[in-house]
């Protein structure tokens, strides 16, 4: 049986959201900082972490305790999961969520990401990659959560991002002009995905010239928060949205930062504008707390719940319905593949003969390039060759792709960037193995057997 490292955590402090200034360094008022920190008392200065940081945010030399420059940190946690001495620590909302679960008035919603269902078992002695969808649902409900699967929201993301891509194709490649396409005239190719919060923060700090190229679609988690507090509150759960507390369960530590971005209070804005909540209601975020896979395992342990011992039977419920396209978001190339499926169908008027677009999968490649032929139904079947690329790990390949598009802005139409090698399945919030972590292998845990 494989063992996992215990990662030390700490609750957010009074200073974690900064002061009253609108900007402090690279952070806006209210944004969480210091999500990932290095324990200065225990760091031996082995320097392993520096090679995994995509933004050179780690300072220090061999033999001297390292530290993180928080203004440069994108909170991806790659340093944490690759530290061979487990001395890098993570901000955690476990205590806050536990208190909410005990509050009878609060309707606590668990919003689990696709990559958690294939990693949670490892925290309880299961095999790497063991699928625990229904067991996880049952464990979450036993702990007091109400279910809302992120995959449901991921399908909404694909509709949004796929439509955005189609509009760009029509405007920039096919020369169509209409009021509906006017807004994309300010957002040229190449088109970048936006689901990875570490990549988005990286672009905002270091490559602001790329911002017009990045999709305007929110990540699935940030689409899910407003849906939970508006549509689902009214039509599914019949709850006052002010009593709903959404805790996302994610493989990603950068999602902790993303949830604190001040613009992500869409539900509050909508409910106030429509008069569904009193005008003097204090603003609330779309996502109230972000738990990593390790955090939710800690909550289960505190409550004496082992998800591997739960039933594998679970009834179909409205908030957990989703397609396979939503599920593959967890893997490098997944967002690209899902968006291309939608674009292909809407542009060609036909389903893909084989929906598995394996050329864009970045599972074992640092950088993937492909050309996807798409027949155009409105252009007499003329074939569009869509040029795409998948960046599988920002620390190794982001610089390469930026050099490519600087030399030739027409080299790609669509680029997926996932900060973590392998995508979300290798995120900074996943279980950390004592052996077989990515500091030994660049992508996945070693294929050790118990």
Q: Indicate which residues carry an active-site annotation.
A: 161, 164, 195, 215, 255, 258, 263, 424
Residues 6+ apart with CB under 8 A from 313: 134
CA dihedral sign of residues 96, 102, 103, 105: positive
**Peptide bond before residue 190 is cis, with ω within 30 degrees of 0:** yes
DSSP-assigned beta bridge partners for residue 246: 109
**Whether the Cβ atoms of residue 2 and residue 128 lie closer than 8 Å to each other:** yes
Give the closest residue to 52 by CA, choosing from 447, 421, 423.
421
Of 159, 152, 160, 316, nearest in space to 248 by CA: 152
Query: In the beta sheet, which residues pair with residue 383?
Result: 375
- For residue 167, what is the enclosing H or E element? helix 150-168
Strand partners, 392: 418
Q: Are the C-beta atoms of 90 and 7 separated by less than 8 Å?
A: yes
CB 278 within 8 A of CB 102: no
Instruction: Tell me whether strands 367-375 and 383-392 are parallel, antiparallel or unpaired.
Output: antiparallel
Cβ pair 60, 88 in contact under 8 A: no
In the block, which residue shows the tokens 């320097």? Answer: 47
Report helix, strand or coil for 188.
Answer: coil
DSSP state of 433: B
């Amino acid at each position: 049986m494989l063992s996992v490292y215990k990662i030390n955590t700490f609750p957010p402090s009074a200073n974690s959201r900064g002061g009253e200034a609108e900007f402090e360094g690279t952070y806006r008022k209210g944004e969480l900082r210091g999500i990932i920190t290095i324990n200065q008392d225990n760091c031996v200065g082995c320097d392993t972490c520096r090679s995994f940081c995509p933004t050179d945010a780690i300072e220090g030399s061999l033999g001297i305790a390292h530290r993180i420059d928080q203004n440069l940190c994108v909170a991806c946690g790659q340093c944490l999961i690759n530290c061979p001495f487990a001395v890098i620590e993570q901000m955690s909302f476990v205590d806050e969520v536990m208190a909410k679960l005990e509050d009878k008035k609060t309707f606590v919603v668990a919003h689990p990401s696709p990559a958690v269902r294939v990693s949670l078992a490892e925290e309880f002695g299961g095999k790497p990659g063991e699928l625990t969808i229904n067991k996880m649902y049952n464990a979450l409900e036993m702990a007091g959560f109400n279910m809302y699967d992120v995959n449901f929201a991921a399908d909404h993301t694909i509709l949004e991002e796929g439509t955005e891509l189609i509009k760009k194709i029509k405007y920039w490649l096919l020369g169509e002009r209409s009021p509906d396409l006017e807004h994309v005239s300010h957002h040229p190719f190449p088109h970048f995905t936006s689901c990875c919060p570490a990549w988005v923060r990286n672009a905002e700090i270091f490559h602001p010239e790329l911002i017009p190229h990045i999709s305007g679609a929110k990540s699935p988690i940030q689409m899910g928060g407003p849906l939970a507090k508006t549509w689902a509150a009214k039509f599914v759960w019949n709850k006052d949205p002010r009593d709903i507390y959404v805790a996302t369960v994610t493989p990603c530590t950068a999602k902790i930062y993303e949830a604190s971005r001040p613009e992500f209070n869409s539900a509050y804005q909508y409910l106030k504008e429509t008069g569904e909540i009193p005008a003097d209601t204090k603003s609330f975020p779309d996502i109230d707390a972000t738990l990593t896979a390790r955090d939710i395992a800690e909550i289960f342990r505190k409550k004496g719940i082992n998800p591997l011992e739960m039933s594998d039977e679970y009834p179909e419920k409205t908030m957990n319905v989703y397609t396979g396209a939503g599920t593959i978001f967890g893997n490098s190339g997944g967002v690209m593949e899902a968006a291309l499926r939608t674009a292909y169908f809407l542009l060609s008027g036909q389903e893909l003969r084989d929906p598995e677009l394996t050329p864009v999968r970045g599972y074992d490649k640092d950088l993937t390039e492909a050309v996807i032929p798409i027949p155009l139904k409105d252009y007499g079947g003329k074939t569009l060759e869509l040029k795409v690329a998948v960046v599988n790990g920002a620390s190794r390949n982001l610089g390469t792709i930026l050099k490519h598009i600087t030399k030739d802005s027409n080299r790609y139409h669509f680029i997926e960037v996932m900060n973590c090698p392998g995508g979300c399945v290798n995120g900074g919030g996943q279980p950390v193995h004592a052996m077989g972590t990515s500091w030994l292998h660049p992508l996945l845990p070693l294929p050790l057997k118990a």
